[in-house]
Structure 1
Amino acid sequence: MPFPRSAFLEKTALNPDIYGPFWICTTLVFLSASLGNLASYLSYAAGSGSDEHWHYNIDVVSWAAAIFYGYVAVVPLVLFFLLRYLQVSAGLVQLWCLYGYSLAVYIPISFISVVPLNLLRWLIVLGATAISCVFLGFNLRAQITDGHEMWFPVTLGAVLLQAGLGVLLKLYFFT
């Protein structure tokens, strides 16, 4: 996934979709909420020497929806207007498609992150985040370098936001 023979945006240029990104986000909302609660319970059960009772957190569903749908909707929209300002040709639906599919790696990682070992969770999420960042950075760079010298700061900013999302997922859902 991180080093395709041709750029994802090139492959989807004529027919970008938003069904995949929508369903990837929807899947991530429910997986991160349910498996995040399961991970919390397993961590509680592994160290259950206290008198406190474990409680599920239903609020994570709302937060997961806001995080995933918000991220996939707003970040590409801002990037689209930034690229327009820089006079770089990029389609909004293509960017939504790219950002949505860049999160697909977190679906299997959600299952693996249930393991109640915090160091292992960090390594798993950071590995997935690295794959996601490389996928996003590679494809944005291919799109932006065709017409602008500002490709590096724009791509770096997008990759740093993606890395921030990965860290947020670990800290909020799998602690």
Structure 2
Amino acid sequence: MTGPPGASGPASRGDYDTLIDVDAEGVDLGETDLEFHDFHTGDNVQGKIPAAGQGRLYEPPSSFENDPNRPLSIWKIQFYAQFFNVETSDVLQRCVYALYPRVSVIDTIGDNPDLYGPFWIASTVMLVLFFSSTLAGAIASHVAGIRYEYNFGLLSAAAALMYGYTFIVPIVLWGILKWYKSEHARLLECVTLYGYANTVWVPVALVSISPIEIFNFQTISNVVRWASAAVGFGISAIFLVRNLYPVLNSTEAKTSRILLVGVVLAHMALAFAVKLVFFAYSIDDNSN
């Protein structure tokens, strides 16, 4: 008894015309109902990252980093970069105004006081004081016929004097002004003014080398040093008083006068320190 075709025995390829051998090459699939859908959008092809607001469950607000009204953190470099936002031309112009105080530098500073100039001016004065004092001491020793011994302690003294005066004194002045409720006291402006006021000590230190001492003109050399220190004090004091007076005048009349005298006396002390610590030589014993 035979069953229906295909019920037993090996099946032939023709009996299953709905099966396709996909491994065979060159097979014609014919017309099928298979369709391939493109799930990419027109704006997001080839793996591009979706634009803002597309395909995101949460869109954060505008970045706080670009918000000019947001206060900067002291732990970020941007906080300190704003104090060095000056051009070389700005620094040179302020140095010129410090050496020739015919105008108020506050008007030129405006809303852009800086720490770049004060820091490098203090560093330059420190090195120039040490160099000039060393060279002047060597000249004095040569004239006296004795061996000169380098005193590197003068470099530490110059650093303490210039950095301390440039940054500590204006901070103290600003604190006093805030104590008396001055509305115009700004710390960065005070530091800027004191920093640029020290520009004058560079030419003073160079003049104080006094090469005429080689010819044994000790008295004349000493007069030149005192005169240069006095001129430096006068120029820088005028610069400070002219620019600080509007701020000091924002306090009571008596308080402003006391503060003004204090500013002048502190600057006078700096001038004496420059002369006596770095340029007080005796040609007999070379003490300084």
Larger radius of gyration: 2
**What's 1:58 paired with?**
152
Which is helix-richer, 1 or 2? 1
Contact persistence 1:38–1:114 (CA under 8 A):
yes
Contact 1:141 1:152 in 2 (8 A): no
Q: Is the 8 A contact 1:41 1:54 kept in 2?
A: yes
Q: 1:91 aligns with which of 164, 186, 196?
A: 186
Is residue 132 of structure 1 aligned with residue 236 of structure 2?
A: yes
1:14 match: 111
Structure scoring higher RCO (CA < 8 A, sep ≥ 6) equals 1
Which segment drifts farther, 94-103 or 133-142? 133-142
Gaps of 5+ in 2: 1-98, 214-220, 281-288
Compute the displacement of 1:9 (Å). Answer: 2.5
Gaps of 5+ in 1: none
Q: Distance in 2 between matches of 1:68 and 1:106?
A: 10
Q: Map of 1:25-40 to 2, 5 A cutoff?
A: 25-40=122-137
Decide whether the 8 Å contact of 1:2 with 1:132 is kept in 2: no
Structure 1 residue 46: deviation in Å?
2.4
Q: 2:12 aligns to what?
A: none
Measure how far apart 1:147 and its partner are. 4.5
Q: Deviations over 1:56-79 (max 9, x none)?
A: 111111111111001111100110
1:24 deviation in Å?
Answer: 0.5
Equivalent runs, 1:134-153 vs 2, <5 Å: 134-149=238-253, 150-153=255-258
Q: How high is the sequence identity, in percent, across the aligned residues?
A: 30
Residue of 56, 67, 80 corresponding to 2:174:
80
- Which one-letter code corresponds to 1:92 in the other structure? L
TM-score by length of 1: 0.91
Q: How many residues align?
A: 171
What is the rounded CA distance, in whole Å, between the counterparts of 1:146 and 1:82 in structure 2? Answer: 12
1:67 maps to: 161
CA distance in 2, matches of 1:110, 1:86: 37
TM value normalised by structure 2: 0.57
